[in-house]
Amino acid sequence: MSEKKYRKAAQIITKAGMLPFPITDTLMEIMELLYTDEEVEFITKAFRRKPSLTMEQLKDKTNMSEEKIETLVDSLASKGALFNQPSSKGFMVYRLLPLIMVGTFEYTFMNKIEYTDKEKKIAELFEVLFEEVQEVVQEKYDMMAPMFKQIPPVDRTVPIYENKEGKEIKIEVNKEVKAPEEQVLAANKIRDIIDKFDDIAVAHCFCRQHQDLLGNSCKVTDLRETCFTLGKSARFVSEHGFGRLISKEEALEILQKSEEEGLVHKAFHPHGDIKRDETSICNCCKDCCATFGLWRDGVIPMVNATNFLSKIDNDLCIGCGTCVERCPVDAIELNNENKAERNADWCIGCGICAHFCPESAISLLEGPRTVYVPPPKLRNK
């Protein structure tokens, strides 16, 4: 009976996310390491049909007292399995979180540097699970391809605006891109986003820490405490010990260091809707970022909202290859003339290439667009 409940809870949790996780022995082992029998039973009773519930709805579905529910909610929230913060209307909502993007995986690896043997085991199991998802996606690639195109932007790139000397990167209007008639102008400077929020929390980068636990140390940076949450997400993170509240000044200092290391600013919005306020900011590296990695591994498409596109001046380019090495999505290569050439379909407008170009040969074109690149098809039938 216990095994059946764990399997049922696993099915409910996977439905809360965007990745088609198979219910494998690996997933079941993760479930057993993370959750108690009582927590699993609560999940299966409460969230079978809806991922978000009020306290009254939880009491109705579980026949538990409010005190008992609060105990279970706090326990699950401390594991990154449940989000418990007031809604925009002021009443408390309890929302079941997925395994990843953003859920248990992220919160498990964002709160500290030193980990127990149990957490190291969970890290290894997640890596195996990602490989199992890859198998499913690649096996059913043609069937899933139309579904890939329905995925909203996972994140939004907010570019670096200065080069390594601290000079502003040249920005031009992209006349080839016509803005929608009712375009909502989301803040495109990372400092403007920070300025919007009174509550800001910082935590350790879960992607780099996951790779650390697997023995794959990041080749781009030694920075770890670079993951920001904002507003009620910041309050959730600080209340449950995943990170710490910081001032706007400290946030800007961390962002400056992230830019110096060549990390990509990625803002996240609820359901990818840029008309809504940001919930978090990641400072991502090419090596460890899960969204970059899962795309390259043929698991998910790269779907990114951006307001910029890099532009390379061939007359200034000396073919040094710095931009090729630095581009987080491999959107630049050297052509037959030993000049940098950018793939417009892949460029996410992060400004990393312009930031590090020693000749200031790269500028940014401004114009709203969505980058969609399907995951590579790694096998042919």
Provide the pLDDT for residue 362.
97
- In eight-state DSSP terms, residue 86 is E
| Residue 315 burial (10 A CB sphere; 0-12, 13-18, 19+) | exposed
Q: Residue 352: which of 221, 248, 250, 180 has the closest Cα?
A: 221
The whole-number pLDDT of residue 179 equals: 58
**pLDDT bracket for residue 101 (50, 70, 90):** confident
- Is residue 144 within 8 Å of residue 262, measured between CB atoms? no
Secondary structure (3-state) at 261: helix
Predicted pLDDT at 244:
96
What local confidence, expressed as pLDDT, does residue 125 receive?
Answer: 97
Residues of the chain above pLDDT 90, percent: 82
Summary mean pLDDT of the chain: 92
Query: CATH fold of 2-139, please?
Result: Arc Repressor Mutant, subunit A (1.10.10)
CB 203 within 8 A of CB 111: yes
> Which residue in the block uniquely carries the two structure tokens 């591994």?
297
pLDDT tens string 229-280: 999 999 999 999 999 999 999 999 999 999 999 999 999 998 888 888 999 9
pLDDT the model gives residue 381:
47
User: What is the C-alpha separation between 286 and 163, in angstroms, rounded?
Assistant: 19
Share of the chain above pLDDT 70, in %: 97
Are 155 and 18 spatial neighbours (Cβ–Cβ below 8 Å)? no
Predicted pLDDT of residue 345: 96
Mean pLDDT throughout 282-294? 95
pLDDT in tens, 134-183: 999 999 999 999 999 988 898 999 999 999 888 999 999 887 776 554 45
C-alpha to C-alpha distance for 291 and 301, rounded to whole angstroms: 9
What pLDDT score was predicted for residue 23?
93
Give the domain ranges of the chain: 2-139, 145-373
Band (90; pLDDT cuts 50, 70, 90): confident
CB atoms within 10 A of CB 62: 17
pTM score over 0.85: yes
**Alpha carbons 206 and 109: distance in angstroms, whole number:** 5
